Amino acid sequence: MQAPIGFSGTFSNIFNTPNKMLVFSWDIKLEKTAFNYKSRVFIVLWTLTFLLTFTVSMVSTPTPYLTKEFVTGEDVESATMEAYGVILSLGYVAITLGSLLGGFIADIIGRRTVVFASFIVLAVGCGLFVVAPNLYWLFLASFIEMFAVGFSGPAISALVADYSGQSSRGMAFGVFNLSWVTAQIPAPLLGGVIAQVSNLRTPFIIAVFISIFGVLFSILMKGKHAEKKQVAEEEGAVIEELDLKQVVSLKRVILIFSLTNLLNGLLNGFIAPLTRGFLMFRLNADPTEFGLVSSIAFGVVTGLVQIPGGKLADKFGRKPLVLFGFLGAPVVLILALSQSLLEFTFLMGAICAVGNISAPAISAWLMDLVPQRRRASVSGITRTLNGVGLSVGPTFGSFAWNSTKPDAAIPFGVAAVIYAVSLPFYLMLAEPTKGSPKTREAP
């Protein structure tokens, strides 16, 4: 649920047969050429992701203000930024752990079960925010809340890929991404308004009830291993033609996407305290204004580019669209020059538009290159490295902010550099030739 800018790590013995290769075979007759957006599984997955994202986005607005209530000392700004940086980092550590466990568990016991359990954990985390008496409780609440996000992610991504063909997978992820994108449009603003007119804990109470509803709604997703039918279809396919140029090492795919995910997480983690600090202490935004900027710059803009991004990814390929996303790097530096909420919203929206138009392409690209039965675990691996970056990023971001204030150009400049570093790794990775390739494992 972020702009796809980067990912990393070395995994040599993750699978029992590390020397396996991915072979793309051309079997157009058996390839699914369309995705059924009205299917029960898709509707349930879309709704569950919406609820999950809505809950987390709604409470993200009052969280820094609730943190501010617990800090003491003369320099409230620095103390708040440091404490909030810890909350973000702990939350991202939880995403990291949750993604790793969730990916492998989903491939073992079933993806539906993992999604169901995630909403139970989410309800517990939001409940702890409601009763938190000090910062330490906020740290624990954030950890549990974000663990639920990481735990569910690989299973949901794998299920979306399971029910889409390679030729339409970009569009499938584009439509699916609207679930978390549209949730981010009203949620931050709603969280800010409720916190301001009621109290800072009310959004968390509402979040508990939404989480409970998610638990009940997930029961509608029938089937412990909904992907088994497609596995049988793929294993029964006849390889008509092999293109040796399309033989890609599975280890190489994991390594490159892990590296870019690490950098992507580092960027998003690093820039999170910068944008919030800029809004709170440079532009003096209140909770409602804070939520409004988040809703427009992050939610509306990101939502507008998902469908075009999916169509372009299927028509022109994954790689060109991903490379286009790096044009947002220089705009990150310009963001520090914002003099008003309007300027900040416009520039942040431009970054989100350029960066997130490639979101469907990146998701589809990875799923294209991974065998069906490995999708959840490989997604968990790449998300884990993304979580590592997210875990350390906020701490460095908060330190950079406090060390260079009031000059915001330096920390935003560092963010722009992090943005651009993952570009060479994407250039190293090929993609399947345009068509309807099957992804298969062969010795």
Work out whether the CA dihedral 114, 129, 210, 363 comes out positive or negative.
negative
Least confident residue range of 4-8, 104-108, 224-228, 260-264 = 4-8
- Say yes or no to pLDDT of 436 above 60: no
How many angstroms separate the CA atoms of 264 and 418, rounded? Answer: 8
Specify the length of the chain in residues: 443
pLDDT of residue 393: 85
- Say yes or no to pLDDT of 147 above 90: yes
Helix and strand totals (H; E) in the chain: 20, 3
Q: What is the mean pLDDT of the chain?
A: 79
Least confident residue range of 66-75, 345-354, 403-412 = 66-75
Residues 6+ apart with CB under 8 A from 200: 62, 65, 66, 69
pLDDT of residue 441: 38
User: Does 76 or 119 have the greater pLDDT score?
Assistant: 119
How many angstroms separate the CA atoms of 185 and 182, rounded? Answer: 5
Q: Of 282, 267, 221, which is closest to residue 47 (Cα–Cα)?
A: 221
10 pLDDT band, cuts 50/70/90, is very low
Mean pLDDT of 431-442: 47
How many angstroms separate the CA atoms of 360 and 174, rounded? Answer: 5
340 pLDDT band, cuts 50/70/90, is very high
Q: Where are the beta strands (DSSP E) in 301-428?
A: none
- Say yes or no to pLDDT of 93 above 50: yes
Work out whether the CA dihedral 109, 110, 114, 116 comes out positive or negative.
negative
Percent of the chain exceeding pLDDT 70 equals 82
Residues 6+ apart with CB under 8 A from 321: 309, 312, 313, 357, 358, 361
Question: pLDDT for 223-238, tens place per residue?
Answer: 444 444 444 333 333 2
For 342, the token pair is: 């309007």
User: Does 407 or 241 have the greater pLDDT score?
Assistant: 407
Please give the order of strands across the beta sheet that includes 437-442.
248-249, 21-26, 437-442
Selection from 19-28, 87-96, 129-138, 388-397 with the highest mean pLDDT: 129-138
Helix, strand and coil content of the chain, in percent to the nearest 5, comes to 75, 5, 20
Q: In degrees, to the nearest 5, what angle opens at C-alpha 141 toward C-alphas 140 and 144?
A: 85
Mean pLDDT of 411-433: 88
How many angstroms separate the CA atoms of 100 and 108, rounded? Answer: 13
How many angstroms separate the CA atoms of 141 and 91, rounded? Answer: 9
* Residue pair 371/441 in contact by the 8 Å Cβ criterion: yes
- Say yes or no to pLDDT of 117 above 90: yes
User: Does 79 or 441 have the greater pLDDT score?
Assistant: 79
Q: Of 432, 420, 88, 92, which is closest to residue 260 (Cα–Cα)?
A: 420
* Residue pair 388/244 in contact by the 8 Å Cβ criterion: no
287 pLDDT band, cuts 50/70/90, is confident
Query: Which residue has 């033609």 as its token pair?
Result: 241
Mean pLDDT of 123-137: 92
- What would be the CATH architecture of the domain defined by 21-442? Up-down Bundle (1.20)
Query: Which residue has 């990393």 as its token pair?
Result: 8
How many angstroms separate the CA atoms of 106 and 94, rounded? Answer: 17
| DSSP helix/strand/coil, 336 | coil
How many angstroms separate the CA atoms of 116 and 127, rounded? Answer: 18
How many angstroms separate the CA atoms of 323 and 343, rounded? Answer: 26
* Residue pair 411/398 in contact by the 8 Å Cβ criterion: no
Mean pLDDT of 13-41: 39
Question: pLDDT for 155-190, tens place per residue?
Answer: 888 888 877 777 777 888 888 888 888 887 788 889
Type of residue at 47: T
Question: pLDDT for 212-226, tens place per residue?
Answer: 999 998 887 754 444
